[in-house]
Structure 1
């Protein structure tokens, strides 16, 4: 081969050979018509047209995304690497903001002005979470240069375009508080925080703060969320704090000992974000329940390999961890509960040589504004007879065949106790449970009937109000709760709910504290003293009692019995 033929050439890439120097023939050879355009020419035209369309499409999409940035972003003082997108100043209200670096790469963060009162109003936390999802989707569209439907993300999805508050402050995008490293007391009331200590602790690397604030007057949902949040924080390696600055029941330490404190201090309040969940410092409250304990949480932690209630065991274990760490009653109530539990247990003991002692069967009855799940009773309540029948069945199953000659152990049955706790004072006087023992007698919530009967019948003596007796007709109603301690001009009935934002008086907090302490001691006695518990799963107190009994006793050994339909234990309601 010659040197010219062996050299690499681009001639084979040319679409058509050079024109022949000969003159065209007047008559086509062999009678064929000369083609005017080749197929390759048409192909090149189509490719050029397709390329132009693609370029125009991406150009128009980019322009549209650039125009929509101003709807979600605000400006700030110039930063070192990033700058804000949109107007000229940060807003003076909590909101997500969009930032971009010098190369045009976009991220987003959450701006909570450092001077904002802590905690924020519950609706603001809910709005932040909703806005966060919208802004996160928008920024993702900007990086993809097109709008696309966003799929459902898992519970631990990490948004690569989210910038945490502390990182945004390092870049100069957010102002941050003055004297950030000082131990000056901040807004809010983190239980157990020592702000006057001479030892300055570092801010926790990651944390979770549970805010005890809810528009729901009941204590059950708050306790279940609190316990589950603690277990979740332990699983994620977060330091855990509790804030009680706006709790409707007053101070956390009026009911419990302070929670275990980590060896670091809480972060600045404006760094506590309700979402995204992978934020360094997470805030959890009733307003963020759908985001923290919603469907994604259940999908993550339910055991897909199990059936029925056994799917809930990982969530149950979280609540159990919170119960063991946080449910430590204040000293006076703890002493009473310990003595009461010992007294009830002592009453079931039999002298040797009896092989077994009696049982303590706890019965929790919730009335008021909580109605059963079961269809036929959803507008009323489960009949008291059903609780009594279930208690007798439990005694029969336990002691049948354990007595002499494999008969029924009547001595143990006679020594067994029924211990009742209810929000309805009339339950204690009913025919079914008038012979039963109360869970606790330290604080009694009495009905008007009981109060009237206790009034003097003669003379003009005026009966003094007794702290431990609060009129409570028919059970716990949220409207009645919010009316405690308010002026008599405000309606105090179960059908009309007063304004919950009005500042509570000292008298109101004193009465609320009595109601809360009675509820806590009822739970403590039933959870610690009883061998079996009969209750309705529609009541959150019933679910709490299962957690207090433990998985083995409540579920595996079936010591926790629901009489409200065929429903099973579930955790936080959202």
Structure 2
């Protein structure tokens, strides 16, 4: 059957419009795509493809715009750029959530762990899935809304904690205690209560009690370890302890020694067993300098039960990092006689330090033997000849230089002049041996046998005009000056390998020099650079020598002198007052401070 013919006789257009050839128009469909005919795809081999559109823009099409917008074709698959963007956003969100979780986990101000109290002493953790993996105080709450707090230290955590960790825990203890107090609707303690050294927080739970209630893990393991150790040593675990950690960022030995003595006296007063930890002491092992301290008749507790705060904890840790907690304002308020304005108000604190000194200051065998013989030798030089009853006077002089400057305002940027020590020593000898007294003949002889004994951290003091004729306190261990170190002779005509310049102790004891002992070069930031790194055996040996020399100086001056001159800004000066005893040093006035009008105090001198 033939297709129907196209009949144009009834067309609405009587005539056909012919486009003039000068216009040279292209089909509109080539540019606008408005043609209803399907276009063939373009390819590199298509004859319809050309580069004319890159050279000029065609004139607008004369065709009319479509009345109905063309439907958009949805792509079958998303463009690769969109996929990559979505994937990138997903990764960014995931990373943000992980960082936020870690931040909340490690830097939360007050970690809160809820616990439920059953009718039969059954507890369960309902606030958090797990305890923090780092030492921190935490708040706990029961089903009735009663809140308490404790300190969580993972049982597997290293002991002792770092000084920064102890400082952070003590700071957070105050925060979490206030937080729990607010939950109970209680206000902060009054000023009188806050200054009470033995104030007990009713909302604090000790570690042992928290483990028994199931608030802290490890109660069964702890009991098992305690039982095992008790069977081995046949000693029970101490009911209450105080452990002193011999670690401080301070290179000096004096402050640590003063706190050690006071901590021991405090432990005896509070009936706590006393232990010493020297695992990270800058001067090496404690028994390398002192004899073994008194051993309690019980065992130390598990290490995670030893807390730096609060003071009411059964097992307390004391170190330089917790000095404000242990020896702060409340301690001074408790152990000072505030009603008195004279030196006697410091006597209770002095007595604590004296108790620690008598129990702990026992030098090792070699050093003790040398100190004893040296004191006998010095006293022998002061002994009067036969036929005379009055012996000479030995005046000890302790000069501290280095990085310790005086309290006296005019000398704060330098040191007390040496002539002030020498002049005061002569005054003391003149006062004791007054030649104008009735027994002038005896005083003249005794005065001739009087002399000064010098000890200093600065080798140049021994060679000064004021003290070059004065014997040293001890000559067993000396801090050498640069001029005293032998220099190897080398042939200057031959090139040699560079050797760093020799350093001595001129100027006194400096922390930078101490921390860099045993190193190839000097680091200006010695403490920061060397503290995290375990010292070598040679470095530890050198540091131990310095500590031994310092302690022998103190012992000989304190016990071998009739009077002692020093500057209270140096902790060694205050230590020697304790070693001399209250009656001799304070009551009799044989301990003489020439650094301002300051009275004795354990850690902070009082004007």
| TM bucket normalised to smaller | 0.7 to 0.9
Q: How does 1:121-140 map to 2 (within 5 A)?
A: 121-140=162-181
Pairs aligned (count): 484
Paired residues of 2:113 and 2:141 also in contact (CA < 8 A) = no
* Correspondence for 1:428 among 454, 462, 478: 462
Q: What is the distance in 2 between the residues matched to 1:344 and 1:119?
A: 43
Residues 459/329 of structure 1: CA separation in 2 closer, same or farther (3 Å cut): farther
Paired residues of 1:96 and 1:135 also in contact (CA < 8 A) = yes
Output the TM-score relative to the length of structure 1: 0.79
Establish whether residue 164 from structure 1 lines up as the match of residue 180 from structure 2. Answer: no
* Correspondence for 1:524 among 555, 558, 581: 555
The alignment's C-alpha RMSD in Å is 2.7
Residues 149/493 of structure 1: CA separation in 2 closer, same or farther (3 Å cut): closer
Q: What is the distance in 2 between the residues matched to 1:345 and 1:408?
A: 18
Paired residues of 1:345 and 1:529 also in contact (CA < 8 A) = yes
Establish whether residue 446 from structure 1 lines up as the match of residue 488 from structure 2. Answer: no
Of the two, which has the highest radius of gyration? Answer: 2
Q: What is the distance in 2 between the residues matched to 1:396 and 1:440?
A: 26
Q: Which residue of 1 aligns with 2:581?
A: 550
Deviation at 1:150, TM superposition (A): 4.0
Q: What is the distance in 2 between the residues matched to 1:403 and 1:355?
A: 15
Paired residues of 1:204 and 1:266 also in contact (CA < 8 A) = yes
Establish whether residue 288 from structure 1 lines up as the match of residue 322 from structure 2. Answer: yes
Deviation at 1:127, TM superposition (A): 1.0
* Correspondence for 1:88 among 129, 133, 136: 129
* Correspondence for 1:260 among 294, 300, 307: 294
Paired residues of 1:70 and 1:86 also in contact (CA < 8 A) = no
Residues 71/104 of structure 1: CA separation in 2 closer, same or farther (3 Å cut): same
Q: What is the distance in 2 between the residues matched to 1:295 and 1:429?
A: 43
1:392-413 Cα distance to aligned partner (Å, 9 max, x none): 0110111116865457711111
* Correspondence for 1:299 among 319, 333, 344: 333
Deviation at 1:205, TM superposition (A): 0.8
Deviation at 1:499, TM superposition (A): 3.7
Paired residues of 2:117 and 2:143 also in contact (CA < 8 A) = no
Residues 268/497 of structure 1: CA separation in 2 closer, same or farther (3 Å cut): closer
Q: Which residue of 1 aligns with 2:97?
A: none
Paired residues of 1:75 and 1:89 also in contact (CA < 8 A) = no
Q: How does 1:72-83 map to 2 (within 5 A)?
A: 72-74=111-113, 80-83=121-124
Deviation at 1:359, TM superposition (A): 1.3
Residues 496/164 of structure 1: CA separation in 2 closer, same or farther (3 Å cut): closer
Unaligned runs of 5+ in 1: 1-68, 187-194, 461-468
Paired residues of 1:114 and 1:177 also in contact (CA < 8 A) = no
Q: What is the distance in 1 between the residues matched to 2:474 and 2:227?
A: 39
Q: Which residue of 2 aligns with 1:560?
A: 591
Paired residues of 1:85 and 1:100 also in contact (CA < 8 A) = no
Q: Which residue of 2 aligns with 1:222?
A: 256
Paired residues of 1:123 and 1:287 also in contact (CA < 8 A) = yes
1:456-500 Cα distance to aligned partner (Å, 9 max, x none): 77999xxxxxxxx99322110001100001233xx2569996442
1:107-135 Cα distance to aligned partner (Å, 9 max, x none): 11110000000000111111111111111
Residues 497/86 of structure 1: CA separation in 2 closer, same or farther (3 Å cut): closer
Establish whether residue 308 from structure 1 lines up as the match of residue 342 from structure 2. Answer: yes
Q: What is the distance in 1 between the residues matched to 2:336 and 2:122?
A: 43
Q: What is the distance in 1 between the residues matched to 2:360 and 2:225?
A: 26
Deviation at 1:565, TM superposition (A): 1.0
Paired residues of 1:444 and 1:470 also in contact (CA < 8 A) = no
Residues 119/522 of structure 1: CA separation in 2 closer, same or farther (3 Å cut): same
Q: What is the distance in 2 between the residues matched to 1:409 and 1:424?
A: 34
Q: Which residue of 2 aligns with 1:397?
A: 431
Paired residues of 2:110 and 2:138 also in contact (CA < 8 A) = no
Residues 109/527 of structure 1: CA separation in 2 closer, same or farther (3 Å cut): same
1:376-404 Cα distance to aligned partner (Å, 9 max, x none): 10000000000000000110111116865
* Correspondence for 1:114 among 147, 155, 161: 155
Unaligned runs of 5+ in 2: 1-107, 493-501
